[in-house]
């Protein structure tokens, strides 16, 4: 087998392990929050979501909006900030026991996995905004 093929398979395996680990963490945290048995928790991958999907959209100040050069700088910096925010995260729709959450997980700086969730009434608004595949 060529070296390139071996490296490609290794990358795929690492990616699958990370996603599975994140799904397990999302399931466990949801189960703990809602006292819902793990076998009653459904975790669905949502590739259309990113942590920046959860952030409230903000508008630049009026003075920035009126100045094309400043506005373009604001747009570029906002885009770059979202890209940094979204890097390395996998997002899921987690449901069970009458609850629904949108959860994004990534490796924590101190080891392990950390997850951020969008819960309760905000989920319906977010699903309407981004669409429900």
Residues 6+ apart with CB under 8 A from 113: 21, 22, 25, 105, 106, 107
Summarised one tens digit per residue, pLDDT across range 89-104 is: 899 999 999 888 888 8
Question: Domain coordinates of the chain in residue numbers?
Answer: 3-50+89-130, 55-88
Give me the pLDDT at residue 68, please: 95
Q: Is the pTM value of this prediction over 0.85?
A: no
Exposure b/e, 60-93, CB count within 10 A at least 16 = b: beeebeeeeeeeeebeeeeeeeeeeebeebbbbb
Residues 51-67: pLDDT tens digits?
Answer: 887 776 788 999 999 99
pLDDT digit string, tens, across residues 75-133: 999 889 888 888 888 999 999 998 888 888 888 877 788 887 775 445 555 555 555 54
Confidence of residue 8 (pLDDT cuts 50, 70, 90): very low
User: d(Cα 103, Cα 8) in Å, to the nearest integer?
Assistant: 28
């Amino acid at each position: 087998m060529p070296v390139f093929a071996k490296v490609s398979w290794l990358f795929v395996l690492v990616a699958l392990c990370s996603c599975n680990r994140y799904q397990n963490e999302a399931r466990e945290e949801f189960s703990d929050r809602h006292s819902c048995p793990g076998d009653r928790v459904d975790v669905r991958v949502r590739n259309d979501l990113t942590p920046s999907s959860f952030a409230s959209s903000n508008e630049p100040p009026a003075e920035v909006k009126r100045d094309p050069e400043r506005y373009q700088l604001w747009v570029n910096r906002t885009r770059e900030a979202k890209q940094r925010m979204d890097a390395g995260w996998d997002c899921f729709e987690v449901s069970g026991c009458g609850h629904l959450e949108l959860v994004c997980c990534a490796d924590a700086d101190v080891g392990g996995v950390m997850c951020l969730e969008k819960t309760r009434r905000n989920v319906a608004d977010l699903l309407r905004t981004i669409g429900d595949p």
